[in-house]
Amino acid sequence: MFTSTFTDAFALLATLDERVAEIVWLSLKVSGGAVLLGTLIGLPLGACLAVGRFPGKNLASVLVNGLMGLPSVVVGVVVYLFLSRSGPLGGFGLLYTPSAMVIAQTLLVIPLMAAIARQVVEDVWQRYAEELAVMRFNWWQSVTTLLYDCRYSLLVAVLAGLGRAMSEVGAVMIVGGNIDRATRVMTTAIALETSKGDLPLAIALGMVLVLIILLLNALAFALRHWAMRRFG
Amino acid sequence: MFPIRIQGLSFAPQDRAVLDGVDMTLGDEGITLILGPNGAGKSVLLRILCGLVEPSAGEVSWGGGARPARGVMMVFQHPMMLRASVLDNVALGLKPLGVAVAERRRRGMAVLERIGLAHRARDSAPQLSGGEKQRLALARAWLTRPRLLLLDEPTASLDPSATAEVERIIREIRTDGTRILMVTHNLGQATRLGDDIVFLADGRVCEHTLTQRFFSRPTSNEARLFIQGELPWNLGFRS
Ligand SMILES: Nc1ncnc2c1ncn2[C@@H]1O[C@H](COP(=O)(O)OP(=O)(O)OP(=O)(O)O)[C@@H](O)[C@H]1O
Ligand SMILES: [Mg+2]
């Protein structure tokens, strides 16, 4: 039974089963979208926390660090409340759509990406602050300059966000509803197929998930390696 | 902005006087060199002048008014290098002036020609040699057309030919109309570059005279000892 499960899983992958491909593609779109938004919001947010001088800065940093480990089901429930028919954003009819899943995952990855970005940018800011001040950089110019300078180190933040988004189940399950051919992604499919007893499909999806994450990490590693050689 | 009049300038963090009543006047042209033992407060003085450090007492009058928002630049001993190309680094100084990117690059390229680094424009700036980084930093400051340029030991740890190259650029910046105030420990450099010399010890200006005169007939005892390389280590500090 154990070995046959794996043989069947490989068979599913080898034939590029349409169901599998569809689920993988949706996963990539949803998590990719969330990480894209997370990059646009989380990284500048982290850099602002590193550079800015404003009251409550420490509190904000603690908050962001704390929210890093936010359980995905909690994010799912909160987004659900906002998007449900009676919720404040219910009118948009987003619940149980991929858009809702992107929103939930974006909220999930922002604190993680911001916290990493803050750490990375803060170290560099310590070294650059005086010279940027002499050149009369305002805080926003400093933020953009530092983000650019740290672009390769910040890949770590992007990867961490992608890893978090691709591997979470709770949020997409709640706001997406795991609807076949509509909102079913790899993690929710794995959970469902396992509970139904369709282990080959669950294993096949699991292998694809791990493979994608490994590939992305290898890519990032190569890019950082190249950057280190170029910029020392 | 000129003359810059420094009066009774003191800097005493935790009650230890680093600067203790510095008086000095800077006219609108030339190169003034600051000499003095380690810990005399030379770097602190430059930092106060560019607004990075607040003095604990005294004042600086910039041609009768407050320090202008722009026009004062400083080059540090270890200049920052963004992980980007030489051209991007040199053009960086123009970013806060609201110059468009294409124009920044054009002017950056022009200044790289003048400092002899045009052929390295596309190379990575953090991988330049110490001398090349120092030249890049000078160019970055020069590009913003400062009225006053503060240099903190720009040739420390450079070899003689790199030093000569940096000195050539400093002279060219001066000729371009920028007032230069520069710290050095290199007495040969002081005679080559300095129009006048400020000798700082014990938190005060012991002497401020023309270069010729400073080396031939120093009036203060500290300066005499310093030139002879015999300044006792404790003169630079104040207990
Ligand atoms: N921001 C600061 N806060 C407190 N103390 C400071 C600060 N900056 C400098 N100091 C102290 O002031 C003293 C003089 O420092 P400074 O760097 O000006 O010396 P210097 O004349 O430039 O010496 P060197 O020739 O070694 O560069 C040092 O003892 C230093 O610790
Ligand atoms: Mg110094």
User: Percentage of chain A with pLDDT > 70?
Assistant: 100
Q: What is the mean pLDDT of residues B116-121?
A: 96
- Indicate whether residue B16 lines ligand 1 (CB < 6 A): no
Find where tokens 């469902």 sit: A192
Q: Is B95's CB within 8 Å of A136's CB?
A: no
CATH number of B4-81+131-227: 3.40.50.300
Pick the residue of B72, B74, B83 with the most A CBs within 10 A to test the interface with A by mutation. B83
Residue B198's pLDDT band (cuts 50, 70, 90): very high
Ligand nearest to the CA of B198: 1
Residue B186 scores a pLDDT above 70: yes
Going by the DSSP 8-state scheme, the letter that residue B184 receives in this structure is -
In B30-116, where does DSSP find H-type helix? 42-49, 86-91, 101-114
Chain A CB contacts of B91 under 8 Å are: none
Please tell me the distance between residue B47's alpha carbon and the centre of ligand 2 in angstroms.
10
- Note whether residue A132 is domain-resident: yes
Q: Using CA atoms, how far apart are residues A191 and A178, in angstroms rounded to an integer?
A: 10
Find where tokens 């910039």 sit: B62
Using CB atoms, which residue from A132, A152, A231 is nearest to B126? A231
The per-residue pLDDT for B233 is 52
The per-residue pLDDT for B237 is 46
pTM: 0.90
Chain B CB contacts of A141 under 8 Å are: 95-96
- Note whether residue A232 is domain-resident: no
Residues by chain with Cβ below 5 Å of ion ligand 2: B 43
Q: Using CA atoms, how far apart are residues A75 and A173, in angstroms rounded to an integer?
A: 11
Chain A nearest CA to B152, separation (Å) = 13
Please tell me the distance between residue A165's alpha carbon and the centre of ligand 1 in angstroms.
49
Q: Is A231's CB within 8 Å of B83's CB?
A: yes
Q: Is A149's CB within 8 Å of B84's CB?
A: yes
Q: Is the dihedral of CA A178, A180, A184, A186 positive or negative?
A: positive
- Note whether residue A164 is domain-resident: yes
- Indicate whether residue B40 lines ligand 1 (CB < 6 A): yes
Please state the domain extents for chain B: 4-81+131-227
The CATH code of the domain that includes A53 is: 1.10.3720.10
More confident residue, B223 or B238: B223
Residue B236's pLDDT band (cuts 50, 70, 90): very low
Q: Is A231's CB within 8 Å of B84's CB?
A: yes
- Indicate whether residue B49 lines ligand 1 (CB < 6 A): no
- Note whether residue A38 is domain-resident: yes
- Note whether residue A23 is domain-resident: yes
End-to-end CA distance of chain B: 36
Q: Using CA atoms, how far apart are residues B50 and B45, in angstroms rounded to an integer?
A: 9
Asked if B195 contacts B210 with a C-beta cutoff of 8 angstroms, the reply is yes
- Which pair of structure tokens corresponds to residue A162? 């992608």
Q: How many domains does chain A have?
A: 1
Asked if A118 contacts A68 with a C-beta cutoff of 8 angstroms, the reply is no
Q: Using CA atoms, how far apart are residues A176 and A72, in angstroms rounded to an integer?
A: 13
Reported as a single tens digit per residue, the pLDDT across A49-103 is 999 988 999 999 999 999 998 999 999 999 999 999 999 999 999 999 999 999 9
Q: Using CA atoms, how far apart are residues B64 and B61, in angstroms rounded to an integer?
A: 5
Domain, as residue range, for A13: 2-227
Nearest CA in chain B to A127: B80
Q: Whose CA is nearest to atom 8 of ligand 1?
A: B44
More confident residue, B222 or B49: B49
Residue A8's pLDDT band (cuts 50, 70, 90): confident
